[in-house]
Amino acid sequence: MATALLAGALVNLQLGSSRSFTTFLLLWGLNGWLLSIGSAPSVVALAQWFSPKEMGTRYGVWSVSHSLGEGLTFSATAAIVSDFGWEWGFRAPGLLCIGAALVLFQTLADRPQTYGLPPVTTYKNDHPPVVKSHAGQSVGHLQWEVLKTPAIWIMGLSAATMSVARYGVNNWGVLYLQEAKGYSLTEAGTVLAAYPVAAVVGAAFSGILSDRLFGARRNMPALLTGAVEALALAGLVLVPPGHPYVDSAILAVFGLALGALLVYLGGLMAVDLSPKRAAGAAMGVIGAFAYAGAAIQDSVSGWLLDAGKVVEGTATRYDFTPVVGFWIGASAVSILLTLLVWNAKPQE
């Protein structure tokens, strides 16, 4: 994880100096691959050091990182680019990640057994009812078992469709608020800022919610927050222009729900259903689907916008109605997919 972060930081520094489209494209792809490596090792560490009944709380705290990064991108990176140029939009994060990588080289810990400690489930006497035990089997075999588990693939599809709404708002939210609501660029950014701030709160408390109120079961809170997320998107469309406080409140509700979904559908439910020593494989499947959903979202949203654009002299207007409909539909599909693994049981 630390090596990938350091390599990604160096790629970012190079991105800030690139002038060739082909070189930039290759570095951009390499950057995405390197930085995607951070998620699975993080979840493996969480699964090894925290028992099932406390995993949701810890995972929720860890998931705050997604929203914090997005919030910093909306604010700090924009300010840096405005003051120092687009190159520093890559260089500044690159320098920051070099420092973070050096810290991780010194602080990341292996699984408890490496240090002569018992497994955390034994230490905490927290053995949930399991559908199948994998004691004594190799990690490679367990990873193959994860890949053969239908529930993991269903959760991956759910994460992919959830990512459509997430990255839709992330990547197109400012333009949507300008085109559909008539905000200026600054106003749109201010209104949209309510979303990542609320997502931090939603992610932080989602694990506590499922651990304390639902006995470490994630299906019911995932269903409830998924419904809230879809309804919030629909509400954003229904509110007429000229109500910035209402739009901000709706985006805050959307952020709260999405922050929780990032915990449940973005990996925690899949990790719960996987052997703990193969948590990284489960997270890898979820991550791959999530990134695929993000890529499909950008392509489809861009195609829909281009198909409905209207050019008036030097100005171009975009119709976001079918695009937001696509986001809401994907959110609904994500909810339905979650229902298919309602009774799935965890493994050890």
The domains found in the chain, sorted by start residue, are 2-339 (1.20.1250.20)
What pLDDT, on a 0 to 100 scale, did the predictor assign at position 96?
A: 93
pLDDT tens digits for 107-163?
Answer: 988 888 888 988 887 888 866 655 555 555 666 667 777 777 788 888 889 999 999
Task: Please list the residues that pair with 310 across neighbouring strands.
Answer: 317
What is residue 148's predicted lDDT score, i.e. its pLDDT? 73
pLDDT value of position 8 = 95
DSSP lists the bridge partners of residue 347 as: 132
First to last CA, the chain: 24
Reported for 246-253, long-range contacts at CB under 8 A and 24+ positions apart, including other chains, are: 247/177, 247/181, 247/191, 248/191, 248/194, 249/194, 251/169, 251/191, 251/192, 251/194, 251/195, 251/198, 252/194, 252/195, 252/197, 252/198, 253/198, 253/228
Q: For the whole model, what pTM was predicted? A: 0.73
Report the chain (348 residues): mean pLDDT per 10 consecutive residues.
94 89 91 86 83 79 77 74 86 93 91 86 72 58 74 89 90 88 83 86 82 78 90 92 92 92 81 73 82 90 87 80 92 89 66
- Where are the alpha helices (H) located in the chain, listed in sequence order? 2-15, 21-36, 39-49, 52-72, 78-84, 88-107, 120-123, 139-147, 150-181, 185-192, 194-213, 219-238, 244-263, 269-272, 279-308, 321-339
Structure tokens at 243: 């109500």
